[in-house]
């Protein structure tokens, strides 16, 4: 189920920076051209923001990319909502069929382009992260 990812020196730097700024262990770090997604363990994101309410701004200034911080979950619905939280998730429909899971997400209309990203990079990254934990076949945005 888990896809392999390569951690290069740049990602190692992001991980080290994240852990030094937040004082929490990181579970996942993945990126696109203009976005870095950090996934922390369950029930840890609140601690991070209590210690440093400006943590996203600090990371964005240091990395010079958009930052998404999400909390991992053992529940697919919750983890999907956590990853897409900043985009104003309205509905999530999960369809389990023949061993495949398809997720359709509805977000605020003005956020659809940001969720998809340039050339579909963001939505692909979000699907890849979810697929590392669950048997996700597809992730799409409902218009």
pLDDT, position 8: 79
> Which ranges of the chain have pLDDT less than 50?
1-2
**What is the predicted pLDDT for the residue at 1?**
44
Contact 57, 89 (CB under 8 A): no
> What percent of the chain is predicted at pLDDT more than 70?
95
Q: What is the pLDDT of residue 10?
A: 87
pLDDT of residue 27: 92
- Domains of the chain (ranges; CATH) run 9-71 (3.30.300.20), 76-142 (3.30.300.20)
The pTM is what?
A: 0.87
Token pair listed for 12? 């190692």
pLDDT value of position 68: 93
- Measure the CA–CA gap between 97 and 115, rounded to whole angstroms: 25
Task: State the helix-helix crossing angle for 121-131 and 76-83, rounded to 10 degrees.
Answer: 150
Phi, psi of 89 (to 5 degrees): -60, 130
For 80-104, write each residue's pLDDT tens digit: 999 999 999 999 999 988 888 999 9
Q: Would you state the pLDDT for residue 3? A: 53
Distance CA(51)–CA(60), nearest Å, equals 17
CA–CA separation, 136 vs 63, rounded Å? 29
């Amino acid at each position: 189920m888990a896809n392999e990812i390569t951690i290069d020196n740049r990602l190692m730097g992001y991980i080290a920076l994240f852990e030094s700024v937040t004082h929490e262990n990181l579970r996942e770090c993945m990126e696109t051209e203009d976005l870095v997604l950090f996934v922390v363990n369950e029930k840890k994101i609140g601690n991070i923001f209590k210690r440093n309410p400006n943590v996203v701004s600090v990371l964005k200034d240091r990395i010079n990319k958009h930052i998404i911080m999400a909390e991992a979950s053992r529940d697919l619905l919750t983890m999907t909502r956590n990853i897409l939280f900043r985009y104003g998730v309205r509905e999530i429909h999960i369809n389990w069929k023949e061993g495949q899971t398809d997720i359709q997400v509805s977000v605020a209309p003005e956020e659809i382009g940001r969720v998809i990203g340039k050339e579909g990079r963001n939505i692909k990254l979000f699907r890849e992260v979810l697929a590392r934990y669950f048997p996700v076949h597809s992730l799409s945005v409902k218009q």
